Structure 1
């Protein structure tokens, strides 16, 4: 209780017109040593001379004490204050810190994102997206963190996520074929029927529907559509799984293909055979 009162008084003093950093440090140290996790955060930020947005403060009062800042911010993060991990990420990414290390910075940024800090989730998504060419899964990671931030109501994350939304109406052929699926056809051609359902749900083109490796494409939060190895004119793209209906369709199709070889040596044959089967089964498709 005493530590909480010290923290609140220190935060009140911090908002003053001319706060005294030496006085603040004493107050936050007392509260932090009393076990207050938020005080650990405030003390760490004060020692680093940055605010919660990472902007430099109190520069006229001497240099930052990064060694002390790292200690208290680590304590804050371990106590469940995600802003502590985020502040550590900012410090390790700064050129003003002599021990600057971008790998360590990303490690702490991931910890902050995993702890649910929406700012860190958005920042991590942007980092992964910028470096998507360095690792083939970075775009998958970016999409995941945008989804996590969007789930917390972050508008910029939702705007980024909109670019990966499924567009079933863009592929009229798939919707037309889905409408023609009967129980008899589902039983006689289960794999083709499943691919059509997937195409209708996620807006896949005909080549994508026929060539996608179902098991390799499902990442839980998104569908990775990559048929470049077999269809040179195609482009790798991600489609977010955003509804329960989409997830249910993907689960059902994944179960069907669970023990099946989706390659050209499997039961479905090569690309020409799959195209022929689609044309003969649905001769009136556009």
Structure 2
């Protein structure tokens, strides 16, 4: 392999977690603050302006260029679902011209995020000369788990309920296998078919298994519907559709060992690691 030309920049696929400053890594913040071009949706741009990671909106001219406090110029490009292919091609060309580009993804870019699109587009466009670095971020499974306690301390898996790119038969097969295998299951994209998913898991698990419904983990009041968490059971989870508020909702379905623990503050969800006792530590 001949290596990347010296004059090329780098394409960063950056996960910003929920998007607010406290839950974004220093690496993600540093990259976004120093690249020549940031590609991000309006919502993520809004989050990134919370602490000055991006310049304020009134500092961006009609061409999308902002002058940062250190005097450097940075172009800010709005992304949307309908422009992903176009923007990937544009990012490749910017890198070839010597620019560093941050393509922003919520959560972690490799957990139902932007990473796979960038690599598939690089393959499609024969962009083997474009350096790509993935900057990890906190995904909803981890943020949601932290909000409700320690439900992921044993084996767990994530399943997306979106049937946009795969059929429901495949989703059902994975759900059933996860339920039978006694994984703690984290459901993403719960605005689609979440009641259907719950009913499938109920066929393989007892109705008293614990479930946490978590909205906008780590976003406080800045998300679409506000941060919240609610603990219920598998048998009653489908009855709480008023708690499932859209794309920011995740369900954490406990296994046979998942239990609740309460202190004077609130009730937590805990999955012991293999049923260890305190003495085992």
> What's the TM-score once normalised by structure 1's chain length?
0.22
> What's the TM-score once normalised by structure 2's chain length?
0.22
- Per residue, is there more strand in 1 or in 2? 2
- Per residue, is there more helix in 1 or in 2? 1
